[in-house]
Amino acid sequence: MESLRYTGSKENATRETTETKTYEDIEIKRLVKQAIDGDVETFGELYGIYLDRIYRYVFYQVHNKVTAEDLTEEIFMKAWRGIGKYRWKGQPFSAWLYRIAHNHVIDYFRTSRQHQPLDREIPADGDQPQQELETKQIQQSLLRAISSLPQQQKQVITLKFIEDLDNRAIEHIMGKSQGAIRVMQMRALAALRQILNEEMEECEPIYQRL
């Protein structure tokens, strides 16, 4: 199987927001079934659909573009090697991928002895020059705030507010009860509000969303 290095683009981002909604029910199940049967090309389609989402999740955990690219490639290779054991259990296929990503990031932090430098480049979907500076400033403020949270709180915030997953999916991904997830979410939001309070004017749109 060819290298799965991340190569995000506007085309991929558009595909993410449109195709995942179209595919999620019937078509995703068909693709997954064929991939389970060993169809590499079909798994490549799944890779194209979910690449940006998994990369973004990983990036918000490690804050380094190159590291996020490497880890994302490893995650999809793990998914390909393990897809033969995949079974539908009432959760979307994306939850299974996030679970692999979650565990792989945890393993990365367990084995890494060096702190990765904060990557100042944020993956962006838009290409509107007049809004680029403002958007980057808001993203930078949010990234700095999220990066200061404890690891599990950081993961909850990323999955909930950046990946837009519900608590049931997060429960499956993190292996925590929904009650524990709600507690982590409340504590993380309280910490974020305190951090962002210093940059309230710049981060007002994000703060209102929280």
Report residue 119: phi and psi, to 5°.
-80, 120
**Distance from the first to the final alpha carbon of the chain:** 41
C-alpha triplet 75, 157, 29: angle, nearest 5°: 45
**What is the distance between the alpha carbons of residues 141 and 89, in angstroms, rounded to a whole number?**
38
C-alpha dist (Å) from residue 91 to 15, 24, 138, 147, 167: 22, 11, 33, 28, 12
Report residue 72: phi and psi, to 5°.
-65, -40
Give me the pLDDT at residue 119, please.
44
List CB contacts of 140: < 8 A, sequence separation 6 or more. 120, 122
Fold classification of 131-210 is Arc Repressor Mutant, subunit A (1.10.10)
**Tokens, residue 135:** 């958007």
Q: Write out the chain's pLDDT in tens, 210 residues.
A: 545 554 454 445 444 444 445 546 788 889 999 999 999 899 999 999 999 999 999 998 888 899 999 999 999 999 999 999 888 877 789 999 999 999 999 999 888 754 444 444 445 454 555 555 556 666 677 777 888 888 888 888 888 888 888 888 888 888 888 888 888 888 888 888 877 776 655 545 554 555
Give me the pLDDT at residue 19, please.
45
**What is the distance between the alpha carbons of residues 193 and 208, in angstroms, rounded to a whole number?**
10
Give me the pLDDT at residue 55, please.
94
Give me the pLDDT at residue 117, please.
44
Give me the pLDDT at residue 17, please.
44
Other beta carbons within 10 Å of 94: 20
The number of CA neighbours under 13 Å toward the Cβ of 62 is 27
**What is the distance between the alpha carbons of residues 61 and 160, in angstroms, rounded to a whole number?**
14
Alpha carbon 76 to its chain centroid, in Å, reads 13
Q: Does domain 1-119 have CATH number 1.10.1740.10?
A: yes
| Residue that has been written with the tokens 């979410």 in this structure | 185
Beta-strand (E) ranges in 56-206? none
Domain boundaries, the chain: 1-119, 131-210
For the question of whether the overall pTM of this predicted structure is more than 0.75, the answer is no
